[in-house]
Structure 1
Amino acid sequence: MQKWEYFTAPIMIHATQQILNNFGEDGWELVQIVPGPDGNGLVGYFKRPKA
């Protein structure tokens, strides 16, 4: 059975593509983006297969 590890990170609007590409290079797959807890900014939820 595949096991996963998860990661959350703030996503800055002015650098979205660069941030997502950097996480993708490290093997992270974007699952969802939601508003930040303070209502400002965004939070990305990522997953990747566990080694």
Structure 2
Amino acid sequence: MPTWEYLTTPLMIHNTAAILNNWGSDGWELVQVVTGPEGGLVAYMKRPIVAATVAGA
């Protein structure tokens, strides 16, 4: 069963695609965008945690 790590990041409305593309190139998948507590947009991201390879396995 996969395990995940999570990230939240603010989104600037004039640069949303560039921000999401940057995180996506690092393997992050957008889960949801919500309005933050101060009114801006916040992106919730996730990506699978890659298990460390054990030598000789």
Q: Aligned residue for 1:31?
A: 31
Task: Please give the TM-score of this superposition, normalised by the length of structure 2.
Answer: 0.84
RMSD, aligned CA: 0.6
Identity level (%) = 66
Aligned ranges for residues 1-51 of structure 1 at < 5 Å? 1-39=1-39, 41-51=40-50
Shift of residue 38, structure 1, vs aligned partner: 1.1
Equivalent pairs, count: 50
* Structure holding more strand per residue: 1
> How far apart are the structure 2 equivalents of 1:21 and 1:32?
15
Deviations 1:1-51 (A, max 9, x none): 100000000011010000000000000000000001112x10000000001
Structure 1 segments (4+ residues) deviating >3 Å: none
